[in-house]
């Protein structure tokens, strides 16, 4: 699934061709994934100019000249492409914005993506936590968000309402770099370990953006990060750090890859002011 780096790379790739263009028409070949409806979205965006593109987490945002916005969720296999002329190959084409010059096309093989109109930029970001690469996000705020839940830290990282942008691939990689077991309750992590995880998340996401994302199981073939993943998708292979076999487990119906030697489970921290009892 495209995560923050892949969506950011998509934004950078199409921005020069679509920003400042006027939307002449919108049409969808898969209207059940257009909200509030194909007709309503088409009516709302027609005649609007596309302002500088934004991204929040995995959500690509097309701000419009009247203050409204369109969000594109790439889902499992979605991709946006700009074409000056309609391409010959239109397999998996699901929607099209006809612009004052060229067309913005949405391809989606698995049909999990969605396009949605919002009355404001604030509404376009509704339900999302702070962006994982937002310069204003601090280690303290990141840690406070995750420490609110007793769920496994792997599940907490995937919760877009806590911090937006991290998915299955980069949560595995960040936890490995931070040496944190994926089943550790998020609320049990010390501030120091949460700060280390914060730095790992940022480092992994930035590295992936620099390498044009990860090209695994989706249609955009331009990424190189898949050659630098240390645990994701490497079940049974030796750990690059210690040589132990990479393990796989399922947490909340999501696959997880980790090194049990480099990421050992730890005893939860004792609340301040309390001491653990010892036998004898």
CATH number of the domain where residue 19 is located: 3.20.190.10
Q: Which of 95, 124, 153 marks a domain boundary?
A: 124
Q: Is the dihedral of CA 91, 94, 98, 104 positive or negative?
A: negative
Residue 207 within a domain: yes
Domain residues for the domain of 43 are: 4-124
Question: Which one from 49, 206, 254, 266 is the annotated catalytic residue?
Answer: 254
Residue 157 within a domain: yes
Residue 133 within a domain: no
Question: Which one from 11, 21, 44, 58 is the annotated catalytic residue?
Answer: 58
Kindly state whether residues 159 and 247 are assigned to the same domain. yes
Query: Is 3 among the residues known to form the active site?
Result: yes
User: Can you tell me the distance from the alpha carbon of 185 to that of 176, in angstroms, rounded to the nearest whole number?
Assistant: 16
Kindly state whether residues 86 and 186 are assigned to the same domain. no
Q: Give strand pairing partners of 23.
A: 99
Kindly state whether residues 154 and 82 are assigned to the same domain. no
Residue 67 within a domain: yes
Which residues, given as ranges, of the chain have pLDDT below 50?
270-280
pLDDT at 10: 96
Question: Which one from 2, 5, 130, 152 is the annotated catalytic residue?
Answer: 2
Under the phi-then-psi rule, with left for phi > 0, alpha for psi from -120 to 50, and beta for the rest, what region is 161?
alpha
Burial of 276 per CB tally in 10 Å (0-12, 13-18, 19+): exposed
Kindly state whether residues 203 and 93 are assigned to the same domain. no
Residue 130 within a domain: no
Query: Is 152 among the residues known to form the active site?
Result: no
State whether residue 65 is helix, strand or coil: coil
State whether residue 248 is helix, strand or coil: strand
Question: Which one from 3, 6, 8, 173 is the annotated catalytic residue?
Answer: 3
Residue 267 within a domain: no
Residue 276 within a domain: no
pLDDT at 268: 52
Kindly state whether residues 170 and 74 are assigned to the same domain. no
Query: Is 89 among the residues known to form the active site?
Result: no
End-to-end CA distance of the chain: 52
Query: Is 111 among the residues known to form the active site?
Result: no
Q: Is the dihedral of CA 214, 256, 75, 187 positive or negative?
A: negative
Split into its structural domains, the chain has a count of 2
User: Can you tell me the distance from the alpha carbon of 91 to that of 94, in angstroms, rounded to the nearest whole number?
Assistant: 9
Residue 206 within a domain: yes
pTM of structure: 0.92
Kindly state whether residues 102 and 197 are assigned to the same domain. no
Residue 253, domain CATH: 1.10.8.50
pLDDT at 266: 79
């Amino acid at each position: 699934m495209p995560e923050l780096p892949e969506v950011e790379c998509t934004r950078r790739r199409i921005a020069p061709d679509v920003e400042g263009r006027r939307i002449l028409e919108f049409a969808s070949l898969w209207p059940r994934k257009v909200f509030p409806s194909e007709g309503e979205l088409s009516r709302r965006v027609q005649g609007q100019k596309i302002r500088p593109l934004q991204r929040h987490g995995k959500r690509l945002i097309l701000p419009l000249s009247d203050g409204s916005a369109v969000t594109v969720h790439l889902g499992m296999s979605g991709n946006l492409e700009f074409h000056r002329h309609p391409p010959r190959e239109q397999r998996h084409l699901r929607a099209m914005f006809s612009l004052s010059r060229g067309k913005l096309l949405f391809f989606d093989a698995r049909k999990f993506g969605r396009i949605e109109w919002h009355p404001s930029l604030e509404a376009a970001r509704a339900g999302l936590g702070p962006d994982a690469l937002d310069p204003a996000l601090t280690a303290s705020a990141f840690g406070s968000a995750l420490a609110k839940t007793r769920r496994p830290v792997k599940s907490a990282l995937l919760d877009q309402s806590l911090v937006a942008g991290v998915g299955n691939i980069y949560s595995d990689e960040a936890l490995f770099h931070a040496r944190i077991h994926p089943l550790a309750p998020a609320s049990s992590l010390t501030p120091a370990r949460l700060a280390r995880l914060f730095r790992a998340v940022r480092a992994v996401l930035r590295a992936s953006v620099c390498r044009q994302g990860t090209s695994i199981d989706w249609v955009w073939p331009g990424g190189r990060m898949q050659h630098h993943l240390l645990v994701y998708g490497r079940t049974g292979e030796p750990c690059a750090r210690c040589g132990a076999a990479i393990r796989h487990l399922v947490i909340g119906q999501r696959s997880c890859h980790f090194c049990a030697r480099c990421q050992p489970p730890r005893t939860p921290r004792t609340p301040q002011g309390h001491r653990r009892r010892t036998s004898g």
